[in-house]
Amino acid sequence: MFAEEQLVETERRRLAALVDSDLLACETLHADDYELITPGGARLGRAAYLARVADDTLTYRRFEPEGDMAVRLLGDEAAAVRYRVNIDVTWSGGSDTGKFWHTDLYERREGRWQAVWSHATRISADGGGR
């Protein structure tokens, strides 16, 4: 399997694990130093992010890619994955549903791809054409 295909498969598994609250899979797919930048600008480290998924204070009801994922290999040990995604999420104190651009940076560690950074940006109703 080509690295691009491995990364797309890994990213799809990661999204499914988050929706299913599969913590064992989430821990494997997110590096120890993982960080998420949310559409609202919050920065969450791996421990805080996965703790919220585990205790249902952050619940993904939908986290589905729309169309193809673009993969850019950065040598043999790093890659970026970018795609449009439909998200339906709740957290303590709020909820959100919409379309977003999602970008993940992966690194190959101990022979497997792990997400190290994620960033989500809302796509405006006009498609972001500003």
- What is the CATH classification number for the domain harbouring 49? 3.10.450.50
The CA radius of gyration of the chain, in Å to the nearest whole number, is 14
In a domain, 129, yes or no: no
Q: What is the mean pLDDT of residues 54-77?
A: 96
In a domain, 80, yes or no: yes
- Judge whether residue 31 has pLDDT over 90: yes
What are φ and ψ of residue 12, in 5° steps? -65, -40
| pLDDT classification of 24: cutoffs 50, 70, 90 | very high
State how many domains the chain has: 1
- Judge whether residue 14 has pLDDT over 70: yes
- Average pLDDT in the chain: 94
Domain carrying residue 118: 3-122
- Judge whether residue 92 has pLDDT over 90: no
67-76 contacts, C-beta under 8 A, 24 or more apart: 69/7, 69/8, 69/11, 71/3, 71/4, 71/7, 71/8, 73/3, 73/4, 76/3, 76/108
